[in-house]
Amino acid sequence: MSIADFTPVSLIDYPGKISSTAFTHGCNLNCRFCHNPELVVQPSSYNVSSDFFDYIKKNNINAVTITGGEPLISPHIFEIIKKLKNMNISVKLDTNGSFPEKLKTLLQNDLLDYIALDLKGLSTDDIQYVTRNKNYTLDIFLVTLNEIKTYKTFKGETVNFEIRHTLWKAYYADDFSQFLKSSKTKRYPLEKLPKDNSTKNQYRWKNIRQTI
Ligand code: SF4
């Protein structure tokens, strides 16, 4: 089991809950605005999983956000989340949306309480430009979204989720309308990335949320 790092307390990662945040190694994408590049390139030898589980046990943490990198690329993700759920902890997963089958497996095992799904662009061209990955398409994102939206627990409940889009280019209202139509979504929060003054043409992460 491998966890790259963790934040003991977060007031912003898990909507409505105070959580700890666990970071996993590695990502299949290479976003131009990556907010955690050190996790994407860092070798996976660094592992704080013992410290992380000790901390949440000792401090009676009842909610954890798992983020990365891309958590679904981790060979340990099922094991990590299962262990948290066995401790009766609510789990939120942040994902880039490119692993619909892995996400489906987690859902089918009732292992997720909240999902934050990244939308990298409103078209395949935009997604591939910004992620620098020629295999990731809007259709794959829509399959992931559909898995989330159609999932029902054995009690018939849906899973809480949000779509997050980093506004890295200017879109027209029609682009959003078209996307919302194809994804059958009425609204989603935006995380706006202002330009970083120190690095021209790059952007930095900033946690501003708007609703359109
Ligand atoms: S999906 Fe996330 S972690 Fe991976 S490269 Fe993009 S921004 Fe970075």
Which fold would CATH assign to domain 5-211? Answer: TIM Barrel (3.20.20)
Distance 132 CA to ligand 1 centre (A): 11
- Nearest ligand 1 atom to the CA of 37 is 8
Q: How far does the chain reach from its first CA to its final CA, in angstroms?
A: 39
209-211 and 19-23 beta bridge pairing: unpaired
Give the DSSP letter string of 179-208: HHHHHT-S--EEE--PBPTTSTT-B-----
Kindly state the average pLDDT of the residues 194-204.
41
Q: Atom 8, ligand 1: which residue's CA is nearest?
A: 34
Q: How confident is the model at residue 55, as a pLDDT? A: 96
- Nearest ligand 1 atom to the CA of 69 is 3
Q: How confident is the model at residue 57, as a pLDDT? A: 94
Kindly state the average pLDDT of the residues 99-124.
94
Write the pLDDT tens digit of every residue in 70-98: 999 999 999 999 999 999 999 999 999 99
Domain boundaries, the chain: 5-211
Tell me which residue of 61, 86, 43 sits closest to 6, measured CA to CA: 61
The verdict on the CB of residue 70 being under 6 Å from ligand 1 is yes
Distance 152 CA to ligand 1 centre (A): 28
Q: How confident is the model at residue 40, as a pLDDT? A: 84
